[in-house]
Chains A and B, each alone.
Chain A
Amino acid sequence: DAKTTQPPSMDCAEGRAANLPCNHSTISGNEYVYWYRQIHSQGPQYIIHGLKNNETNEMASLIITEDRKSSTLILPHATLRDTAVYYCIVSDRGSTLGRLYFGRGTQLTVWP
């Protein structure tokens, strides 16, 4: 079951940074934080994941608080194509089971 809490919706102006929060207050030491997004009925797309350090790739940055109870996904310069549902998922790093539990996510709308 989903172990994260996200706001149901957010919006952002094109060209500005989009900061999407996620609360995972029951996270344990060996659990990763994953972010995926789904653009209108397409297959979910992997964005980024992290354990305790902040991570950055070509799509986004992931900031994890020191106590690991929350994180923020940052899209530095949002475009209209970033409008999507963003899912924050916590899963067991050590598990051999790869299943992902998706919650309801955050609907991000980027406006011109």
Chain B
Amino acid sequence: EAGVAQSPRYKIIEKRQSVAFWCNPISGHATLYWYQQILGQGPKLLIQFQNNGVVDDSQLPKDRFSAERLKGVDSTLKIQPAKLEDSAVYLCASSFSGGSEAFFGQGTRLTVV
């Protein structure tokens, strides 16, 4: 069974530039999560989708972050413009349903300089 795919694995950008991350969840998983993990901290939920609808985006900085899940499958997370404090690992995860076992991708390590 294929796992959660994320790309790119690493990205270095200058502040005020834009960046996009892509996630392909496990086939058949209705729930998709994006987390931000700063070094030494736990994953922080940015946005959770159920199919192509948003379940929660209360901690998504909507002035600079946006996410979409077209057709309830793949998802993209965008940051525009990036700030230094956005440097983190961005993790995508999927699960069969909300609250069930989540499967994580390897993450995208973003460095903003």
A binds B: no
